[in-house]
């Protein structure tokens, strides 16, 4: 259902753009063929330009609305699938990853301890597990570590 609605929105947006281009082309042709440069026209050219500009803005906004709705829905679907991938981790690792992703893929270990609500030993063991699987990497920073999400996972999880 959603995919057919997306296709309909894309076809409608393309149709709107094609219709607008046709109207502008037809207007230019009619003005060029029927009115000379020194004509005493009933329809002034600046009036036609103002109408076409307004129509162009309307078509642009409508096209943006139709296409962005489709792309936003697709983006939500992708990120929903990414969040579901965290379900393969155990609950502690999931909390660690959620805290790490929430802080922009880098965080001090002691701050992560506060966010996750784990004791230091338990957090350390979970971090070793994630590090051994290549999901995170540790960097020494004085008396604590900075935990970084691996670059491959940064691209996936950072929205």
Please give the pLDDT value at position 40.
61
Please give the pLDDT value at position 82.
66
Beta bridge partners of 146: 108, 139
Pairing state between β 144-149 and 136-141: antiparallel
Is 89-157 in CATH node 3.30.470.20?
no
- For the chain, the distance separating the N- and C-terminal CA atoms, rounded to the nearest angstrom, is 26
As a residue count, the chain comes to 159
| 146, two tokens | 């900075």
Q: What letter would DSSP give residue 87? A: G
Residue with structure tokens 């046709």? 22
> What are 89-98's contacts with CB under 8 Å, separation 24+?
92/116, 92/118, 92/122, 92/126, 93/126, 93/129, 93/130, 96/123, 96/126, 96/127, 96/130, 97/130, 97/135, 97/157
Query: With 0-12 CB in 10 A as exposed, 13-18 as middle and 19+ as buried, what is 139?
Result: exposed
**What tens-digit pLDDT sequence spans the chain (159 residues)?**
567 777 887 888 888 888 888 888 888 777 777 766 655 666 667 777 778 888 888 888 888 887 787 777 777 776 666 667 777 888 889 889 888 888 888 899 999 999 999 999 999 999 999 999 888 999 998 888 999 988 887 777 765
8 Å CB contact between 127 and 143: no
Count Cβ atoms below 10 Å from residue 43 Cβ, excluding itself: 12
How remote is the C-alpha of 140 from its chain's centroid?
34
């Amino acid at each position: 259902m959603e995919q057919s609605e997306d296709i309909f929105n894309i076809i409608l947006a393309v149709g709107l753009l094609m219709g607008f281009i046709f109207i502008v082309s037809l207007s230019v042709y009619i003005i060029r063929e029927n009115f000379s440069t020194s004509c005493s026209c009933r329809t002034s050219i600046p009036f036609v330009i103002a109408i076409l500009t307004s129509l162009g803005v309307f078509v642009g906004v409508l096209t943006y609305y139709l296409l962005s709705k489709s792309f936003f829905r697709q983006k939500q679907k992708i990120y929903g699938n990414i969040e579901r991938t965290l379900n393969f981790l155990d609950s502690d690792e999931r909390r660690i990853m959620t805290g790490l992703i929430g802080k922009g893929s880098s965080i001090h270990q002691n701050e992560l301890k506060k966010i996750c609500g784990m004791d230091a030993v338990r957090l350390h063991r979970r971090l070793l597990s994630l590090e051994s699987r290549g999901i995170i990497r540790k960097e020494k920073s004085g008396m604590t570590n900075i935990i970084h999400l691996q670059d491959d996972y940064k691209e996936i999880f950072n929205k």
